[in-house]
A and B are shown apart, each in its own frame.
Chain A
Amino acid sequence: AQTVTQSQPEMSVQEAETVTLSCTYDTSESDYYLFWYKQPPSRQMILVIRQEAYKQQNATENRFSVNFQKAAKSFSLKISDSQLGDAAMYFCAYSGGGADGLTFGKGTHLIIQP
Chain B
Amino acid sequence: GAGVSQSPSNKVTEKGKDVELRCDPISGHTALYWYRQSLGQGLEFLIYFQGNSAPDKSGLPSDRFSAERTGGSVSTLTIQRTQQEDSAVYLCASSLGLAPRLYEQYFGPGTRLTVT
Interface on A for B, CB 8 Å cutoff?
A: 32-33, 35, 42-47, 50, 52, 91, 95, 97-107
Measured CB to CB, the nearest residue on chain A to B50 is A99
Which of B45, B48, B50, B56 neighbours the largest number of chain A CB atoms within 10 Å of its CB? B45
- Chain B residues positioned under 8 Å from A32 (CB to CB): 101
- Chain B residues positioned under 8 Å from A98 (CB to CB): 99
Beyond A44-B107, A99-B50, A101-B35, is A106–B42 a contact (Cβ under 8 Å)?
Answer: yes
Question: Are A100 and B45 in contact (CB-based, < 8 A)?
Answer: yes
**A104 to B93, alpha carbons, bound, how many Å?**
14
Secondary structure of the B side of the interface? strand
Count A-B pairs with CB separation below 8 Å. 57
Beyond A100-B45, A101-B45, A105-B42, is A95–B59 a contact (Cβ under 8 Å)?
Answer: no
- Chain B residues positioned under 8 Å from A42 (CB to CB): 109
Which of A33, A42, A99, A106 neighbours the largest number of chain B CB atoms within 10 Å of its CB? A99
**A33 to B100, alpha carbons, bound, how many Å?**
8
Interface on B for A, CB 8 Å cutoff?
A: 31, 33, 35, 42-43, 45-46, 48, 50, 56, 59, 89, 91, 93, 98-101, 104-105, 107-110, 112
Which of B46, B93, B99 neighbours the largest number of chain A CB atoms within 10 Å of its CB? B99
Q: How far is the CB of B40 from chain A (nearest CB, A)?
A: 10
Question: Are B107 and A45 in contact (CB-based, < 8 A)?
Answer: yes
Question: Are B100 and A104 in contact (CB-based, < 8 A)?
Answer: no
- Chain B residues positioned under 8 Å from A97 (CB to CB): 99, 101
Question: Are B89 and A43 in contact (CB-based, < 8 A)?
Answer: yes
**A44 to B110, alpha carbons, bound, how many Å?**
7
